[in-house]
Structure 1
Amino acid sequence: MEENKNRNYKVFALVVYCFIIYLIVSLVAQYYGTNWKPLANVNLVSDIFRAEVMSDSILINNPNIENDEIMAESIVMEENVIEEVIEEEVDDFNLYLEPHLITDFTRNSQQPAMPNFIKKLVELKNTKKGKIRIAYLGDSMIEGDLLTMTLRELLQDEFGGEGVGFVPIYSNIAGFRTTVTANSSGWKDDHFMNKSSKGFYISGHVFTGNGKASFNDRTIKNNQIPIEKSIIYGKVDNGKLNHNGTEKTLDGTEAVNKTVLANDTSTRLSISSKTAEMPLFGVSFESEDGIFIDNFSFRGSTGFELGKVNSQILNTIQSVNNYDLIVLQYGVNLLFRPKDTNYDYYQTGMQPVIEKLKKSFEGADFLLVSSADRAFRYNGEFKTAIGLPNLIKLQATMAKENEMAFYNQFASMGGENSIVDWASQKPSLANKDHVHPNHRGTRILANNLFNAILDDYKKFDNNKLEEN
């Protein structure tokens, strides 16, 4: 027993002696400024002296500061050093996998992924003046103004604006769309899928003939605000158009022209063409100021079709009806074979389209929204298309290589088998085709995207706006 006590005492004494020796060596090293490598990372007094040095530095630069303030500022300085290390910006392609994130593939970025667009949002928020337009291009996933109707409402509630924006002269799903009532007849519709067609708008359509149409914008909440009701059309000389019972002569020397037909509090517009060969694209409802989303959906499109739009038309659109953000949401129509896993052909076909769009819409930011989930039946059970992860990675690659912002719609809706889950819920969030989210589902997608835009918006430094 006595032997164990002596042994414990010896161990304790050894620890104390070593500590004292180590402390003395640390003090000597700190005092003489020596840097012995084995001691460098475990110097017992380095943190104490470092804090004193920082405090002395603060005191020299601020002779009237009190001791408590010195300590507080020392702590802040230490925290800032740590924060700078943690928030160092690094290139990170794998950010494309993150849900609810609009990314420029820079981790810890303090700058918006869509800088020009976000700057315009800040200006609109601060001044309540000016217009911001978003061209949202996609396939049947946004047909009937799905997703865009909710996103438009949320953005207008936050940043101002009244009006549904662009509406085509005629649409075969007009009865499905709830944001505008449209009745049209008597028009010839040339579009993307007609091989001989040309001269169509970014919507993929151009209308001619002695047709008539009536529209009622059902998005207007404030019926006291004047709404500009415009007609968008192609080249024409002395074209005759009747609107709301009044005849109007349209002259247009550009590939795209825009004329305001009425500016009042009415939400309705009726037109009829008296010049059969006059090319018409659509009408537009916009308040004087605010943010507007134009829905350009085309069923069955992969995005390749946009390459068919005449460059002169694309270039003129930006000068006549300027867009600040171009959103591209495609992908589901590439997933038509359940066993496909290689989509390199998509990049080959879409790259010249992206280059063409970026050249035409100069000054606009671009956001590539990935395909949402899409399921096939495998061994008798619906599951996410096996090639979808490859397609989304390819879309992210295209976005990064073309300096476009990216948003992972698939991850944001829940990832693998989310469309299966959405279709089986009660009430359901998707159709039984396991391809298309319904009204309820697209409202969720729109809210997610809106919140991602707000997160990007919050990164903007207002001081930079004041400097400019």
Structure 2
Amino acid sequence: MKKDQTFYIPILCLIFLAGLIAMRYLPPINIMGYELKTIDMFSDVENEVPTVEENLPIVAIKPQNKIQCPEGQICIEDYSEDQNYFGNLFHHLQNISLEKDKVRIAFFGDSFIEGDILSGDFRNLLQDKFGGSGVGWVPIASEVAQFRQTIKENFKGFKNFDAVHNPKEKVPYPPFGICTIPLTGNEASFYGTNFSSRTEYIPGFRLFYQTPNTLKIKVETDKETQEVKAEAGTLMNIVEVNYHPAKNVNLSFSTSPNTYLYGVSFEGSSGVYIDNFSLRGNSGLSLLSSSDEMHKALNKIQDYKLVILQYGINAVNEKTKDLSWYTRMMNKVVAEVKEAYPQAAILLVGVGDRSRKINGQYKTMPTIKLMIDAQRSVAAENKIAFWNMYEAMGGENSMVNYVKSKPPKANLDYTHLNFLGGKEIGSSLYKSLLFEYERYKNN
């Protein structure tokens, strides 16, 4: 008997309907330079996403604009009382060649700068201007080891903890929230890259650690092998290891209970060194998970002249209506940084653009502007500096432009920059800081 074909009609209809629904989530499609209109069968019945003004009442602080900013440049907003907030940083930069000094910058952030995106180019430009070689701080066992372009790494035999994903673990977290335990048979190998002339070779390093017993470190390069002993110490300690700059270096560590590795800082002679302290999923609040003593221990070692705080993307979503909790907590974070790093200026970098689908088209998430207002208010209240990365990207819907750029400058999640976009924003941040530096020298 011939099977009734009408049996398949409802099934085919369901498959077709599911396909139409799925198409509303596809990114825009370009064919030979023409963008096809996104198919969204529900766009006419969906409610329009309310604007910030309609649904997100907030008293915004007027952007500070006391100086004439060069055309096409986003100037740093200085909310300090004397309007000379970066004086100590600039003094050390100006005298760096005379004093043979190392000027250190801590760049705390989230996944937006993961893999040294943005910060790598910012570092490279500053080192071009003021000297320095090496990428600064690197985790012992990084989850973005192969993704990063400024240094490569392979590793085995380590157990990682971080303050965002393992907040209840009883480990002594450092300010940057990453802690590594060496296991039997551990090994970490680091390799230079062609990102710039300063990253081809790996200079000597300083190991950050805590251990109740002597820690033995085997150091192998393509030129030599040595064994180093790091003395027992609480909180955070360092041991410095020197060797001829090499294209790769292999490290292995002895194991003992309560030994914690906090990372290595690869650095050459005098110049500028920027530590990329990115931590995925971090809203900035993990800085409070470290003790006051640990913050002060890090500052005693590093003596930072500038602390950059780049956060915000993990504290907002399309339903966010109130960020008063965030400003309260960030006020605590800034207070902690001020107390622990009293000689450092603090630069709060505003959140970049982020897009979501609104009626079938990607547009700036309305809550992004709310976050920028919140971050600027934190800077003003604490009399620190603020830089508007959202405007540096181009403002409203700039993330869409970054994704559609040829070649693309951002990822298809419409949230994160890629290395090309990071290079552009890193250069913008450098120009903004250098503009302030030149004003300092001329006054």
- TM class by shorter chain equals 0.7 to 0.9
Query: How far apart are residue 437 of structure 1 and its match?
Result: 1.2
2 CA distance for matches of 1:359 and 1:138? 19
Instruction: Using the TM superposition, name which of 404-413 and 426-435 deviates more.
Output: 426-435
Query: How far apart are residue 174 of structure 1 and its match?
Result: 0.7
Instruction: Check conservation: 2:140, 2:264, Cα contact below 8 A.
Output: yes
Correspondence 1:161 to 2:141: no
- Higher relative contact order at CA 8 Å, sep ≥6: structure 1 or structure 2? 2
Mapping for residues 231-250 of structure 1, pairs under 5 Å:
231-244=207-220, 245-250=225-230
Name which of 103, 111, 118 aligns with 2:90: 118
Counterpart amino acid of residue 118 in structure 1: F
Report the equivalent of 1:35.
none
Report the equivalent of 2:19.
none
2 CA distance for matches of 1:191 and 1:285? 21
Report the equivalent of 1:370.
350
Report the equivalent of 1:100.
74
Counterpart amino acid of residue 103 in structure 2: I
Report the equivalent of 2:188.
213
Report the equivalent of 1:312.
293
Report the equivalent of 2:30.
none
Query: How far apart are residue 293 of structure 1 and its match?
Result: 0.7
Query: How far apart are residue 412 of structure 1 and its match?
Result: 0.8
- CA-to-aligned-CA distance 1:348-376 (integer Å, 9 cap, x gap): 22222221121111211100000000111
Q: Pick closer, same or farther for the CA change 1:222–1:327 going to 2, 3 Å.
A: closer
Correspondence 1:421 to 2:401: yes
Instruction: Check conservation: 1:208, 1:276, Cα contact below 8 A.
Output: no
Instruction: Check conservation: 2:213, 2:232, Cα contact below 8 A.
Output: yes
Q: Please give the secondary structure, in 2, of the residue aligned with 1:198.
A: coil
Q: Pick closer, same or farther for the CA change 1:197–1:205 going to 2, 3 Å.
A: farther
Q: Please give the secondary structure, in 2, of the residue aligned with 1:287.
A: coil
- CA-to-aligned-CA distance 1:152-192 (integer Å, 9 cap, x gap): 11000011111111110001111100111111111111211
Query: How far apart are residue 215 of structure 1 and its match?
Result: 1.0
2 CA distance for matches of 1:391 and 1:437? 18
Correspondence 1:132 to 2:112: no
Counterpart amino acid of residue 339 in structure 1: K
Q: Pick closer, same or farther for the CA change 1:146–1:197 going to 2, 3 Å.
A: farther
Mapping for residues 313-462 of structure 1, pairs under 5 Å:
313-336=294-317, 338-461=318-441
Instruction: Check conservation: 2:103, 2:304, Cα contact below 8 A.
Output: yes
Q: Pick closer, same or farther for the CA change 1:417–1:224 going to 2, 3 Å.
A: closer
Report the equivalent of 1:204.
177
TM-score between the two structures when normalised by the length of structure 1: 0.74
Structure 1 segments, 4+ long, off by >4 Å, are: 96-99, 222-226
2 CA distance for matches of 1:250 and 1:127? 32
TM-score between the two structures when normalised by the length of structure 2: 0.78
1 CA distance for matches of 2:80 and 2:99? 31
Query: How far apart are residue 280 of structure 1 and its match?
Result: 0.7
Q: Pick closer, same or farther for the CA change 1:172–1:318 going to 2, 3 Å.
A: same
Instruction: Check conservation: 1:340, 1:386, Cα contact below 8 A.
Output: no
Report the equivalent of 2:3.
none
Instruction: Check conservation: 2:80, 2:383, Cα contact below 8 A.
Output: no
Instruction: Using the TM superposition, name which of 383-392 and 142-151 deviates more.
Output: 383-392
1 CA distance for matches of 2:326 and 2:282? 12
User: Which runs of 5 or more structure 2 residues have no equivalent in the other structure?
Assistant: 1-60
Instruction: Check conservation: 2:201, 2:248, Cα contact below 8 A.
Output: no
Query: How far apart are residue 128 of structure 1 and its match?
Result: 6.5
Counterpart amino acid of residue 176 in structure 2: S
Once superposed, what is the RMSD of the aligned Cα atoms?
2.4
Instruction: Using the TM superposition, name which of 272-281 and 361-370 deviates more.
Output: 272-281
Indicate the structure (1 or 2) with the bigger Cα radius of gyration: 1
2 CA distance for matches of 1:198 and 1:397? 34
Query: How far apart are residue 93 of structure 1 and its match?
Result: 4.2
Instruction: Using the TM superposition, name which of 98-107 and 293-302 deviates more.
Output: 98-107
1 CA distance for matches of 2:442 and 2:94? 8
Query: How far apart are residue 96 of structure 1 and its match?
Result: 7.4
Query: How far apart are residue 309 of structure 1 and its match?
Result: 1.1
Query: How far apart are residue 287 of structure 1 and its match?
Result: 1.2
Higher helix share: 1
- CA-to-aligned-CA distance 1:50-98 (integer Å, 9 cap, x gap): xxxxxxxxxxxxxxxxxxxxxxxxxxxxxxxxxxxxxxxxxx9422798
2 CA distance for matches of 1:106 and 1:309? 27
Q: Please give the secondary structure, in 1, of the residue aligned with 2:308.
A: strand
- CA-to-aligned-CA distance 1:205-249 (integer Å, 9 cap, x gap): 111123210112336726999933221111432222222243322
Aligned residues: 368
2 CA distance for matches of 1:161 and 1:389? 37
